[in-house]
Amino acid sequence: MNVDLLLACNDENGEQEDAIRALQVWHEGESVLELEGDAIDFSAMSDYIRVDGVTFPARCLQTWAGNWCWDLFRVPFDNAVWVLDCARKNKWDAVGGAPFLFSSYNDGDPLAEPLRLALAGDETPRRTRKQETAALAAWDAGEPGRVA
């Protein structure tokens, strides 16, 4: 499975920079997760991209996607998960997205399954690890209805 990543990797003149400052995970023309933060090292070549020193296969689908600051890349699923983990390691903020994926990102949970569900269009409400821990603590305290 491949994932489309919209990367803010161009300057105000549309020239590619050596960093990304925001990204969106796209599925069927819509964002399922939006992140932004301080610059992370980036470069793009014809068949791969390098993010924070790690190189992996990628195909540029469109330059100036949406506007001149963004380029759209298609990457393998596992590499997309790695990019999201890299953004989290660099303390990027989630600013929008599918609820379960957004919460999983913010709570520090593993991202592979939430990303897979978001890309499948599965909006079934689920508890993140943090929410589940709080619910179990409430249950143990004899207050099972306290945490949804």
Q: What is the 3-state secondary structure (H, E, C) of 67-113?
A: CCCEEEEEEEHHHHHHHHHHHHHCCCEEEEECHHHHHHHHHCCCCHH
Locate 138 and state its tokens: 């409430």
Residue 97 covered by a domain? yes
Confidence of residue 68 (pLDDT cuts 50, 70, 90): confident
144 has a pLDDT exceeding 70: no
Using CA atoms, how far apart are residues 148 and 138, in angstroms rounded to an integer? 10
Q: What is the pTM of this model?
A: 0.80
Q: Check: CB of residue 4 under 8 Å from CB of residue 68.
A: no
Find the domain containing 115 and state its range: 2-140
Residue 18 covered by a domain? yes
Using CA atoms, how far apart are residues 118 and 53, in angstroms rounded to an integer? 27
Residue 128 covered by a domain? yes
Q: What is the pLDDT of residue 124?
A: 60
Residue 48 covered by a domain? yes
Average pLDDT, the chain: 86
Q: What is the pLDDT of residue 13?
A: 83
In the structure, how many helices (H) and strands (E) does the chain have?
Answer: 4, 8
Q: What is the pLDDT of residue 77?
A: 95
Residue 44 covered by a domain? yes
Residue 145 covered by a domain? no
**Matching residue, tokens 């996607």:** 65
- How many structural domains are present in the chain? 1
Residue 147 covered by a domain? no
- Three-class SS of residue 13? coil
